[in-house]
Structure 1
Amino acid sequence: MNILSIQSHVVYGHVGNASAVFPLQRLGCEVWPIHTVQFSNHTGYGAWKGRVFDGGMIGEVLEGVAERGALGRCDGVLSGYMGGADIGEAILDAVGKVRAANPAARYCCDPVIGDVGRGVFVRPGIPEFMRARAVPAADVITPNQFELEYLAERTTGTLADARRAVEIVHLLGPKVILVTSLHTDETPADAIDLLASGPDGCFRLRTPKLDLSINGAGDAIAALFFFHFLSTGSTATALSRSASSIFGVLQRTVAAGSREILTVAAQDEFVSPSRVFAAEAV
């Protein structure tokens, strides 16, 4: 399998492509990364070095890949944080070129907009771009609860609310939706839920809530869910495998007291999770 991943990149630590690429490679997937930024470290440290690339650079790099005759072998395009509308347009242009070369290729968009407790943290215009342009173009999306509520324009205090919000977002275009970091009135205080909906049904998965605040987990689970869905065609299987792997990695991160997700040190969790969580039809 070949996946084109267009995301941010950091030298130190694991977010964006630095979080998504290696897990896919560990599973035997060939990844073609295009970086939208290259920073020394993630911005959560408060200081960083590096630069943001523009949409023209993304198009130029993709053109070089196309000249190698490779786009017809691309099975999927994965995107995450978009620094500006020009980046977003360049990503959608790349998706269009890949689909023209291989109509069976799929696009997975992690619609990064904001988070519960933080609100919107992307540049002005990006939330609107996500809802109007990126999400309708995607086959698969992986919003968190805050982003689901933004896209559906409704709150998700109950599981029924969350399911209705997912149904509304399906109408925008994506056939498969993974909702991460979901907490409704049915979620125990010591747990966290994930909800996935696709052609084969709607499924919930619950894991213990870990005491950590870490960057990069969302980027990794989006990549893993996309890979497993492309591999199996099963929403439930993709949910179980991706969530189980990320839980294992995060559990080891907590045990190590690390500020950075242990993408490399806990890599066996991507192939054979130490604890497997089942997806429950809802």
Structure 2
Amino acid sequence: MTILSIQSSVAYGHVGNSAAVFPLQRIGVEVLPVFTVHFSNHTGYGAWRGPLLSPEDVREVVTGIEERGALAQVDVVLSGYQGGEGIGDVILDAVARVKAANPAAIYACDPVMGNATSGCFVAPAIPELLRERVVPAADLITPNQFELGFLTGTDPDTLESTLASVEAVRAMGPSTVLVTSVAQPDRPEGTIEMLAVTPEGAWIVQTPLLPFKANGSGDVTAALFTAHYRRTGDAADALARTTSSVFDLLQTTYDSGERELQLVAAQEFYAHPRMQFEVTQVR
């Protein structure tokens, strides 16, 4: 499998492609990383250095890959955080080029906008861009519950309302939806859930909620779920593998006391997930 991953890059820490590429490689996926920025560190520190790449520069990199004849080998285009409207156009153009070269390829989009704690943290034009143009072009999306609500104009909180919101967003275009960070009001204290919905059904998994914030964990989640699901077509298995790997990555990071994801230290959990969480079909 080959994934064209158009995301940010940082030298220190792990977000964007700097979070997604190594776990994908560790499970045997060939990755063609295309950077949208190359920063010293993620912006959560409040200060960073390095360039925001222009849309034209990003497009040039994709064109160079195309000139090598490599787009026909791409099975998935993966995108995450979008710094500006211009990058959205480049990503959609890359998706069109890949699908022209390989009609079986899919587009997986993590529609990064914000979360329930922080609210929206992207440029004001990005949420509308995602809702009106990007998500309708995607085959698979991986929003959190907050982002799902924005995309659909709903307020998902229970399992039933979250499923209804998923159906609303699926009607916009994507056939498969992974909802991360599902927080039902009646869930056991100290837990969190993920929900996967495909044309074949819906599955949910519950894990302990670790008491810290880990930048980049969503990027790893989107990458691993996309790869596992594209490889097998089995959403329940992809959900189980992804949840197991990401939880153990987070546990390893929490135990280390470090702020940045311990991506390398946790590598065996990607290649050999413990499958310690039960996945339940809910539809």
TM bucket normalised to smaller: over 0.9
Give percent identity, aligned residues only: 52
Deviations 1:7-58 (A, max 9, x none): 0000000000000000000011110000000000011111110011111111
Partner of 2:164: 164
| Contact 2:240–2:275 (CA under 8 A) maintained in structure 1 | no
What pairs up with 1:42-191 in 2 under 5 angstroms? 42-191=42-191
| Contact 1:111–1:141 (CA under 8 A) maintained in structure 2 | yes
Deviation at 1:59, TM superposition (A): 1.1
Distance between the aligned counterparts of 1:268 and 1:50, measured in 2?
A: 32
Partner of 2:15: 15
Q: TM-score, normalised by structure 1?
A: 0.98
Partner of 2:215: 215
Distance between the aligned counterparts of 2:175 and 2:163, measured in 1?
A: 14
Letter in 1 for 2:146: F
Number of residue-to-residue matches in the alignment: 282
Distance between the aligned counterparts of 1:84 and 1:43, measured in 2?
A: 15
Runs of 4 or more, structure 1, over 3 Å off, are: none
| Contact 2:148–2:166 (CA under 8 A) maintained in structure 1 | yes
Q: TM-score, normalised by structure 2?
A: 0.98
Distance between the aligned counterparts of 1:174 and 1:276, measured in 2?
A: 29
Distance between the aligned counterparts of 1:147 and 1:89, measured in 2?
A: 20
Distance between the aligned counterparts of 2:117 and 2:277, measured in 1?
A: 27
Q: What's the secondary structure of 1:52's corresponding residue?
A: coil
Distance between the aligned counterparts of 2:125 and 2:64, measured in 1?
A: 29
- Cα RMSD (Å) of the superposition? 0.8
Distance between the aligned counterparts of 1:100 and 1:186, measured in 2?
A: 46
Unmatched tracts of structure 1, length 5 or more: none
Deviations 1:92-150 (A, max 9, x none): 00000000000000110000011111111100110000001110000000000110100
Distance between the aligned counterparts of 2:229 and 2:152, measured in 1?
A: 23
Letter in 2 for 1:2: T
Distance between the aligned counterparts of 1:212 and 1:237, measured in 2?
A: 27
| Contact 1:248–1:275 (CA under 8 A) maintained in structure 2 | no
Partner of 1:255: 255
Distance between the aligned counterparts of 2:83 and 2:120, measured in 1?
A: 13
Deviation at 1:189, TM superposition (A): 1.9
Distance between the aligned counterparts of 2:147 and 2:279, measured in 1?
A: 22
Partner of 1:268: 268
Letter in 2 for 1:267: Q
> Could you say if the C-alpha distance between residues 199 and 76 of structure 1 is closer, same or farther in structure 2, counting changes exceeding 3 Å?
same
Unmatched tracts of structure 2, length 5 or more: none
Distance between the aligned counterparts of 1:142 and 1:161, measured in 2?
A: 17
